[in-house]
Amino acid sequence: MSTIPPPETVKVKTVKVYCDGATEIDASLGHPRVFYEIDEKGFVECGYCDRRFVLEGGPADTDN
């Protein structure tokens, strides 16, 4: 069974992040703003759009 990569990965410097589904599009075209906290895995994925937030220097940061 292979793992499907997340649609987008965003590197962040804080453990508290939010996602509204917007990137280059207007935020009103995204999804409701939801707040997440990165845990010991070093990343969190948005429950709406699957965007992955990776803590820089954390265990999930493959560019260490």
Domain of residue 41 covers: 9-55
What's residue 25's pLDDT?
66
Using CA of residue 20, residue 22, residue 28, residue 31, what is the dihedral sign?
Answer: negative
How many domains are there within the chain? 1
How far is 64 from 56, CA to CA, in rounded Å?
8
Q: Residue 47 sits in a domain of what CATH number? A: 2.60.260.40
Q: What is the model's pTM?
A: 0.81
Over range 54-62, report the average pLDDT.
93
Tell whether 30 is covered by a domain. Answer: yes
Asked whether residue 27 is domain-assigned, the answer is yes
Kindly state whether residue 23 falls inside one of the protein's structural domains. yes
What one-character DSSP code corresponds to residue 27? G
User: Mean pLDDT in the chain?
Assistant: 87
Residue 39 has pLDDT above 70, yes or no: yes
